[in-house]
Structure 1
Amino acid sequence: MPGAVVIGAGPGIGGSVARRFAREGLPVALISRSAGTLANVAETVSSFGVPVVSLTADSTDETALRAALDAASDELGLPDVVVYNAAIIQPDTPGQLPARAQLDAWAVNVVGALTAAAHIAPAMARRRSGSFIITGGMPEPKPQYVSLSLGKAGVRTLVTLLDQTYGPSGVHVASVTVAGAVAPGTAFDPDDIAEHYWRLHSQPRRQWQREVLHSGLNVPAGEAATGGTAPHAGGDQTTGITGTGRPDASTEPTAYGVIAELLGHWKRAFDDHRTADLVSLFTDDALFQGISPRLMVGPAEVAGYYDNVAEGTVATVEVLRANTLCDGIVGGFADVTFTARTGETFPIRLSVVAQRFEGTWLIRQYQAAAR
């Protein structure tokens, strides 16, 4: 039975992702530079009663990485999902690292993922199914972490290129952007983060997302977000939006976080004119009213609306308020200003209602009014 391959299977996200897929009954192949690390992770994964294959390879060694992927396929079959989790996380300011060290970081953070995808994704495309997921980070670049900022920007671009290449053939390429320091028991608990990988892999094609952001606010309903400083943490900036007039954070962080994260994804997809990614943020029966008076329902009409937006139009978003309406449903208001390539602006007040489906939040109702 084909299963999951985790490259960079360490004690943090990699191990948690491996266990998450094993919990679903998938055999797991673990790839890491360290035999000791592999042994520890393999022991915890095998407790789920699934076959586990441990393979040693450095992600920057193209020959070794390709050989490990071949060995995993020989043992388990062409994988259903490959997760690339290898990264070099280090503080460095502009010019602090020599060029060789920058290239070494780039080789791990980006090139290894490209090597793995080029080796596995074509076979997935021929089969017309499979997922290739990369661990991302640094939603906003920071001058204190130059190599990491460059690497994670490269990951985001690589995911776009791989999606353009293999997505039409049925391969779901995506990234999980982690906006904080990973540690058990915090808002960046690796077991919580691992849930995103399973959701991405199991998403129906019409709901495919290319990027999921774990901001530290997207915790299960009823749990407060805790944990904080990290090389790639940035508060609300991690969503790509701003927020003022936030309601009592002690009682409503989850509702605010859901709306902020959803609209952060919406803004990125809107600015890049990625219609498919915009549509993936809405439910199949979403009620939609944009800046035109026409009322719309469902993916086809939403896609048609966004396809007609002029290229070069971008949006700024400021979340104003958010509330939990009932279990699994939140609502909020935001001020959005659209700016055309000509410089002309159009400000609106946006009302959004979102609903949770097995841990994934989607927009159920979207209504814009002139501001």
Structure 2
Amino acid sequence: MTESTPRVAVVSGAARGIGAAIATRLAADGLAVGVLDLDESACATTVDAIKAAGGTAVALGADVSDEASVEAAINKLAEELGGPTVVINNAGITRDNLLFKMPVSDWDAVMAVHLRGAFLLTRAAQKYMVDAKWGRIVNLSSVSAQGNRGQVNYSAAKAGMQGFTKTLAFELGKFGVTANAIAPGFIVTEMTKATAERVGVEFDDFIKMNASATPVARVGYPEDIAHTASYLVSEGSGFVSGQVIYVAGGPRD
């Protein structure tokens, strides 16, 4: 990679939180970044921050669960910055509830964004990776993949992301493409704040409670995930593929 021909990444769910942190870090690493979220205008803060720091970025509005929308976003990215050879599947939603209370629509919505979205975005970008004989795919899983009360849909989707990752590693490895997953533990984001509100706990207390249950005695932040993504996207990670890395402040089975 040179300054004149930077690699191009697309990061979904990049308007805020973990996605924004990853997009910003990859731009600092020298990649041109497609900042993708449901609402293109919501990507402005991330894009502006990248550009202010001297990086290159473009805002992309797309519903990751919609095939035509994803294709249009990738085509726009390819035209403006070049074909993406790095894909970060970060877009996600929660619709938490106990199994017997969960409507089918909430199950379907979570599956559509996490799994269908990752499938569509990766499929749209993989041709650029195959042509380049180089690529990096990083999928966001979660410690909830191991099961979590009230998250039967989210846990199933995040476990599915791990199987998706391992299969991509088998299928695309011969083309110089790696696929890995990051499984965060408790990360301070708007999503975890909403979880605290849902269970009726003050967010500061929720943070302290999770920190006390973590071996490193603190909670995580989006930048912790961005550091790991930076490594998995790097040239030096080329012999790491099909792995699930738990960034959770302690060991996981």
Normalised TM-score (structure 2): 0.81
Q: Verify the 8 A CA contact 2:85 2:128 in the aligned structure 1.
A: no
Structure 2 CA distance, aligned partners of 1:153 and 1:100? 20
Q: Verify the 8 A CA contact 2:62 2:73 in the aligned structure 1.
A: yes
CA deviations on 1:90-120 (whole Å, 9 max, x unpaired) are: 3211132221221111000101100111111
CA deviations on 1:57-110 (whole Å, 9 max, x unpaired) are: 111111011110111111111223111111112321113222122111100010
Give % identity.
26
Equivalent residue for 2:17, pick from 9, 12, 16: 12
The AA in structure 1 aligned to 2:166 is T
Partner of 1:76: 81
SS in 1 for 2:239: helix
Answer yes or no: is 1:215 the counterpart of 2:221.
Answer: no
Structure 1 CA distance, aligned partners of 2:240 and 2:63? 34
1:183 offset after TM fit, Å?
A: 4.1
Structure 2 CA distance, aligned partners of 1:93 and 1:116? 30
Structure 2 CA distance, aligned partners of 1:162 and 1:81? 13
Structure 2 CA distance, aligned partners of 1:117 and 1:183? 25
Partner of 1:173: 179
SS in 1 for 2:127: helix
CA deviations on 1:198-240 (whole Å, 9 max, x unpaired) are: 10111342344622110124xxxxxxxxxxxxxxxxxx5xx01
Equivalent residue for 1:151, pick from 138, 153, 157: 157
Q: Verify the 8 A CA contact 1:139 1:179 in the aligned structure 2.
A: no
What is the RMSD of the two structures over their aligned residues, measured on CA atoms? 1.9
Q: Verify the 8 A CA contact 1:121 1:132 in the aligned structure 2.
A: no
Equivalent residue for 2:147, pick from 141, 144, 162: 141
The AA in structure 2 aligned to 1:159 is T
The AA in structure 1 aligned to 2:224 is D
CA deviations on 1:22-74 (whole Å, 9 max, x unpaired) are: 11121111111123421111111112212211111111111011110111111
Q: Verify the 8 A CA contact 2:107 2:153 in the aligned structure 1.
A: yes
Answer yes or no: is 1:110 the counterpart of 2:111.
Answer: no
Residues 15 and 176 (structure 1 numbering): CA distance in 2 closer, same or farther, change over 3 Å? Answer: same
Partner of 1:190: 222
Structure 2 CA distance, aligned partners of 1:45 and 1:187? 26
Q: Verify the 8 A CA contact 1:32 1:55 in the aligned structure 2.
A: yes
The AA in structure 2 aligned to 1:14 is G
Equivalent residue for 1:44, pick from 30, 49, 58: 49
Larger radius of gyration: 1
Partner of 1:220: none
Q: Verify the 8 A CA contact 2:96 2:151 in the aligned structure 1.
A: yes
Structure 1 CA distance, aligned partners of 2:175 and 2:38? 32
The AA in structure 2 aligned to 1:211 is V
Structure 1 CA distance, aligned partners of 2:237 and 2:44? 34
Answer yes or no: is 1:201 the counterpart of 2:207.
Answer: no
Query: Structure 1 stretch 99-108 or stretch 174-183: which is displaced more?
Result: 174-183
Q: Verify the 8 A CA contact 1:200 1:209 in the aligned structure 2.
A: no
Whichever structure has more strand as a proportion of its residues is: 1
Answer yes or no: is 1:98 the counterpart of 2:103.
Answer: yes
Q: Verify the 8 A CA contact 2:78 2:84 in the aligned structure 1.
A: yes
Whichever structure has more helix as a proportion of its residues is: 2
Structure 1 CA distance, aligned partners of 2:166 and 2:242? 11
Residues 147 and 167 (structure 1 numbering): CA distance in 2 closer, same or farther, change over 3 Å? Answer: same
Residues 136 and 162 (structure 1 numbering): CA distance in 2 closer, same or farther, change over 3 Å? Answer: same
Runs of 5+ in structure 2 lacking a partner?
191-206, 208-217
SS in 2 for 1:91: coil
Runs of 5+ in structure 1 lacking a partner?
218-235, 241-371
Structure 2 CA distance, aligned partners of 1:183 and 1:101? 21
Structure 2 CA distance, aligned partners of 1:182 and 1:24? 23
Structure 2 CA distance, aligned partners of 1:182 and 1:74? 35
Structure 2 CA distance, aligned partners of 1:205 and 1:45? 26
The count of residues paired between Structure 1 and Structure 2 equals: 220
Equivalent residue for 2:36, pick from 31, 51, 57: 31
